[in-house]
Amino acid sequence: MKPAAEESYVVGTSEAELARLLRQHALFRPACMEAWRRAGVGPGLRVLDVGAGPGAAALDLAALVGPAGSVVAVERNSRFVSHGQTRARASGLAQLEVLQADLLRDPLPAGPFDLIWCRWVAVYLEDGARLVERLVPLLGQGGRMLFLETIDWSTLALHGSGAGTAAVAGFGRGVDRAIAASGGDPVLARRLPGLLAAAGLQLEVLEPLVLGGDAAVTEWLADVIALMGPELVRQGIWPEQDLTAARAALQRAQNQPGSYAVGPLQLWIQARRP
């Protein structure tokens, strides 16, 4: 039985998972920096980072807004909160505040914010639509909300590595089932644009994001399966023989020219409050 603060995390919040999340941020960081630039993030802005995890994105955002701005990062898990607070102090970013709170139940930091940033969070909640309802009033006039969410884990794939590629595809489908089993909604991202529009926000960007084709993405996939695969096996969602086959295929792919991985289909969603 996982502690209450970990129940909606598919793979928990161990030190190994914390380290994996930091490596994952490094992979996605260039795409995030471009999305923040497009959303107008710069000196002096006030930013809310919801579901901040160990705070890697919050640190980048704090550097972008500078001492004249501020970033409030909200995370439920105490281990991640402690890590984010420690890194903020070590980095000398006095403009970054890391708080512990449940996004659906606890009071949220008072607005108005110029940007609300949410990455890989909404689909894991038992009521992602409620999250949108809580966040919209925190936006200032002209403020933006920026989501990055996975639309479809079943699009994850490994190519050119022979046996085991089907097992990798099965893992992607298994992640969707694990999210649903933990109380989340794996297809919420498909409805998010409509929810934001219904809340009175103007949609500015709907852009797919798929990473793939280089060694870093194959390494990322091996990392994800190493941490998440055993948990899916434990839950009876993914066969153990498929975990073994997928690991072998990924090991071959990292040393076999022409083999490559493609990450799951994701969506950038940017909306503005008029």
Average pLDDT rounded to a whole number, residues 199-211: 97
Domain count of the fold of the chain? 1
Work out the burial of residue 256: count CB atoms within 10 Å of its CB; fewer than 13 is exposed, 13-18 middle, 19 or more buried: middle
Is residue 156 predicted with pLDDT exceeding 80? yes
pLDDT tier for residue 213 given thresholds of 50, 70 and 90: confident
Q: How far apart are CA 153 and CA 199, in angstroms?
A: 27
Q: What is the mean pLDDT of the chain?
A: 93
End-to-end CA distance of the chain: 45
Residue 17: alpha-carbon gap to chain centroid: 13
- Which residue, among 208, 211, 212, has the nearest Cα to 267 in the 3D structure? 208
- In 162-205, which ranges are continuous DSSP H helix? 165-181, 188-198
Residue 34: alpha-carbon gap to chain centroid: 16
Is residue 164 predicted with pLDDT exceeding 90? no
Residue span of the structural domain in which 84 resides: 4-272
CATH assignment at residue 33 = 3.40.50.150
Q: How far apart are CA 18 and CA 247, in angstroms?
A: 21
Please give the share of the chain, as a percent, with pLDDT higher than 90: 87
Is residue 4 predicted with pLDDT exceeding 50? no
Q: Residue 6: what pLDDT?
A: 43
E-strand stretches of the chain: 46-50, 70-75, 96-100, 113-119, 139-152, 157-159, 202-209, 260-262, 265-272
Q: Check if the beta carbon of residue 81 is closer than 8 Å to that of residue 100.
A: yes
Strand-by-strand arrangement of the 46-50 sheet: 96-100, 70-75, 46-50, 113-119, 139-152, 265-272, 202-209
Is residue 7 predicted with pLDDT exceeding 60? no
Q: Residue 162: what pLDDT?
A: 74
Is residue 16 predicted with pLDDT exceeding 90? no
Rounded to 5 degrees, what angle do the CA atoms 267, 269, 274 make?
170
Q: How far apart are CA 175 and CA 153, in angstroms?
A: 7
Q: Residue 152: what pLDDT?
A: 92
Q: How far apart are CA 234 and CA 245, in angstroms?
A: 16
Global confidence as pTM: 0.93
Give the pLDDT confidence of 75-99 residue by residue, as tens digits.
Answer: 999 999 999 999 999 999 999 999 9
Is residue 3 predicted with pLDDT exceeding 50? no
Give the pLDDT confidence of 220-274 residue by residue, as tens digits.
Answer: 999 999 999 999 999 999 999 999 999 999 999 988 888 999 999 999 999 999 9
Q: Residue 10: what pLDDT?
A: 58
DSSP 201: P
DSSP 183: T
